[in-house]
Structure 1
Amino acid sequence: MIGRKFLLAGLCIMMFFSGYSVHAEEIKFQDVGEDHWAKDTIQWAVNEKIVDGYPDNTFKPEQVVGQKEFIALLVRTYKPSDFSLDDPNNTGEWSYPYTHFAFSYGWYVIVPFHQPKGSDIGLARGQAAKIIADATGKNYNQQDSIRYLLDNGFVEGKVDNSFEGFKEGDPLTRAEALTMIKRVRSKLDKLQKSPKETVKYEPKSEK
């Protein structure tokens, strides 16, 4: 009887760890090696169903992220209760629910003229910072948004954590976008609406 109990317990333990290993199985991409600096972040984003790879089993971590894509990544990370993929006004554009949500929250969204349906525009790091700052419930200009995010630990710079080191004009890659968003998620519990009026950022005084 005792041996049978140990056998059953052993089977239960094996089933538990077997199920866990399947759940935690790493998703490998051809262009994301074991030594890639953003490997863990990309794995996190895929596991959380924030982003997918491409049909050719690549992730394209160094590809410039589009504005619609970035907003979608941000919304998928938080899964806000007032967001819905179903909208009767949607004309078939995959990004419509995400950009519509961003507009409704007063976030900074670039609307280019004569943009073909389904296209996207690449984001610079500073433009992404403005969107993130808006999503924290602020409304600063782009430069103040960067300073605010750096001062409060929402993001890190590309070279260092100074304003110049943030490199606002550099294109934002898919890997960098996920790194930014993951860090914001660790600091911000809920996406916020941005006030209509732009204000000046006043850095916290040092004690």
Structure 2
Amino acid sequence: MNKQTLAGLLLSLCLLLTITVALPAQQAQAADGTLFSDVSNSYWAHDTIEWGVNAGLVKGYADGTFKPSKTVTEAEFLAMLIRSYEPEVTASSKGNWASPYYVRAKALRYPVSSYTDLSSRSKVITRAKVAELISAADGVNFSGDDAIRYLLAFGLANGSDAGQATVSSFKGNQSLTRAEALQFIKNFVDYGAGGLLDRPQEASNASDIPAVANR
């Protein structure tokens, strides 16, 4: 047997072993069908969470969970939002990890109060503040209930009750969860401006928002 024939046999054997070893793992993953142990296929945000993970916006935890109901800080939401269109902006390995996202947010004039106050970055963000950030990324300048009305009027949110899209049902004072954060961002990617726009310096005209019920 010459060297070329022997080399060919060894290559074929390696390929066969690779296929044999890899195949069971792929079949097991397909049979399982879930990314995280605490996110079932029937969970309301399953597809959204899978989208967010595949898009590199967020990761799960080392124990195999996602913790979809865990609250989100301002820094965490801002990072997800900016990553949705600008993945080249990444966490800092020195100092405060979220500083690059705040630098970008400041350049875009987004309404966050933590450009320099690092302690505020770790505070849980409310749904109303999320409405202000999402509307800012869509190129308008609204705050409070007007920001909520904007999201509801233009399909960027449905409120906590999809059958009753009102300012009250939006529950702006409530804290945001990981699953909700990804849903907000997916809505923005699907129905928003198509990128991260600058927030105007002057407040936008609230009368331009289509009518949305308060309650």
Q: Normalising by the residue count of structure 2, what TM-score does the alignment of the two structures yield?
A: 0.75
Q: CA deviation at 1:114?
A: 6.4
State percent identity of aligned pairs: 34
Distance 1:100 1:27, change over 3 A: farther
The structure 2 residue matched to 1:126, chosen from 128, 142, 146, is 128
Looking at structure 1, the residues matched to 34 and 79 of structure 2 have their Cα atoms a distance apart, in angstroms, of 21
Listed as ranges, the gaps of 5+ residues in structure 1 are: 1-17
Q: Is the 8 A contact 1:27 1:43 kept in 2?
A: no
State the alpha-carbon separation in 2 of the partners of residues 190 and 114 from structure 1.
Answer: 27
Corresponding residue number in structure 1 for 2:61: 54
Aligned to 1:195: 200
- Which of structures 1 and 2 has the bigger CA Rg? 2
Measured in 2, the distance between the counterparts of 1:46 and 1:195 equals 31
Change in Cα spacing, 1:60 to 1:199, as seen in structure 2 (3 Å) is: same
Q: 1:86 deviation in Å? A: 8.4
Contact 1:144 1:200 in 2 (8 A): no
Measure, in 2, the Cα distance between the counterparts of 1:35 and 1:156.
Answer: 20
Point out the more displaced range, 26-35 or 168-177: 26-35
Cα drift, residue 204 of structure 1: 3.4
Written as runs of structure 1 = structure 2, the 5 A alignment for 1:13-162 is: 28-79=35-86, 84-85=89-90, 91-111=94-114, 115-116=118-119, 120-159=122-161, 160-162=164-166
Residues 204 and 28 from structure 1, CA distance in 2 versus in 1: closer, same or farther, beyond 3 angstroms? closer
CA spacing shift, 1:50–1:147, aligned 2, 3 Å: same
Query: Residues 48 and 113 from structure 1, CA distance in 2 versus in 1: closer, same or farther, beyond 3 angstroms?
Result: closer
Determine the structure 2 residue equivalent to 1:177. Answer: 181
Structure 2: segments with no counterpart, 5+ residues = 1-22
After TM superposition, give the deviation of residue 91 of structure 1 in Å.
Answer: 4.5
Pick closer, same or farther for the CA change 1:184–1:86 going to 2, 3 Å: closer
- Cα distance in 2, alignment partners of residues 76 and 36 from structure 1: 24
Higher-helix-fraction structure: 2
Q: How large is the RMSD of aligned CA atoms in angstroms?
A: 2.8
Deviation at 1:137, TM superposition (A): 0.7
| C-alpha deviation, 1:27, in angstroms | 5.4
Q: Structure 1: how far apart are the matches of 2:83 and 2:145?
A: 26
Aligned-residue offset at 1:75: 1.1
Runs of 4+, deviation exceeding 4 Å: 24-27, 112-117
CA distance in 2, matches of 1:46, 1:169: 27
TM-score by length of 1: 0.77
Match in the other structure for 2:7: none
